Amino acid sequence: MIPTQTNNTSEIKSTPRRIIIGIQFLFVAFGATVLVPLLIDIDPSVALFTAGVGTLIFHIITKGKVPVFLGSSFAFIAPIVAATKLYGYPGTLGGLIAVGIVYGIVSAIVKLWGLKVIEKIFPSIVVGPVIMIIGLSLASVGVDMAKNNWLIAMSVLITAIVIVVYAKGILKLIPIFIGIVVGYIISIFAGLVDFSSVNEAAWFALPKFTTPEFNWAAIVYMIPVAVAPIIEHIGDMYAIGGVAEKEFVKEPGLHRTLLGDGIATAFAGFLGGPPNTTYSEVTGAVALTKITDPRVLRIAAVTAIIFSLVGKISAVLKTIPAAVLGGIMLLLFGMIASIGIKTLIDAKTDFSKTRNQVIVSIILTIGIGGAQMSYGNFSLAGIGLASIVGVILNLILPSKSSPIKGSHVED
């Protein structure tokens, strides 16, 4: 049984109201949760199912104290796409399970030696440019999808920008969802949506799970990608703790929240789903509504599981035209890159130091250029290779950069 936090000042006593708000929180994360599987070409119902179960796993491990919803991580899109081309999707899933194990190892390190060890290995001078690569490496994919119909793509992009810049309240937190809805409606009127698959789909259907395969090359390829989401997680725990006025990094402890993320990610990998991560959008919704009752987020998780079993929902999501997704990607991946820049700015990185210029330059060149190192059947490339090189350069070059304070790669 999942323990319930009873001393929460924002606890909602009305069960019907709690359910309504829980469903609302799911829709805050819904657009991003289903966008990731659509971009990596897997069944979106799998992502909904693994996000829901993963969130419940997280709550069990963290004693039901942290108001968090876990969903598909954008940080893994580029490496998943690249690894799938090299090793196939089942092989990639083996790598994602290994990423979950890395979370567990980092959890143990934090438990034994504290956060300073992580800050030394993954400072802002490394994490910032790695986050930039995550966004920039997918820029061409967004453009290729958008050019299927620039009119629709631009309508989606403009809608999302307007929501991000001008909307207030809960609407400001769901630009992806609203942008997709607007683009989808325009596509329907333009005759670009074929509903035949929706009509044929069953109301009840199990998600199309995929069995993972374990390939050492794929595992080594994926493991370094865990760097950015781990740093994001740390930042999110401080952020959500500030909103709830509780030190979640101490109780239940950062080691427990990292372990919860890791086990949820490994679970998703075993079923064919994308990795899970804490959602900054949901953290923002918690901050906006001042509702920090963890039970609300568990209701969102159960709702995600129920949605994943409705075949019609998955069928509708698969009819979304490529141009609609491309329009969202034009904004999304650019924003991810800008978050990398913000990470460097927030840490007050001194670019008058040659060593900092060298580290950032090498990481960006290797990551964006798609450099690859191969030995037999083993290869390391792109974001993973850039991350490892960045960590090594930061450790061996003289002087130190400022420790990272936390960052947010959108989930």
**Burial grade of 95 (CB within 10 A; 0-12, 13-18, 19 or more):** buried
Q: What is the pLDDT of residues 27-72, one digit of tens each?
A: 777 767 887 888 888 888 999 999 999 999 999 999 999 998 898 8
Among 120, 8, 9, 30, CA closest to 300: 30
The C-alpha atoms of residue 37 and residue 142 are separated, in whole angstroms, by 15
Identity of residue 14 = S
pLDDT tens digit string along 103-141? 999 999 999 988 788 778 888 898 889 888 877 877 887
pLDDT attached to residue 288: 67
pLDDT above 60 (res 409): no
Domain boundaries, the chain: 15-203+221-396
Cβ(198)–Cβ(312) under 8 Å? yes
DSSP 281: H
pTM exceeds 0.85: no
- Residue 261 reports pLDDT greater than 90: yes
Q: Quote the pLDDT of residue 400.
A: 52
Q: Which amino acid is at 63?
A: K
- The tens digit of pLDDT for each residue in 163-216 reads 888 888 777 777 878 888 999 999 999 999 988 888 888 999 999 999 999 988
How much is the mean pLDDT over the chain? Answer: 84
Q: How far, CA to CA in Å, does 19 sit from each of 9, 65, 247, 298? A: 18, 18, 26, 10
pLDDT digits 0-9 by tens, 7-28: 444 566 667 777 887 887 787 7
Query: Which stretches of 319-381 are DSSP H helices?
Result: 322-346, 354-369
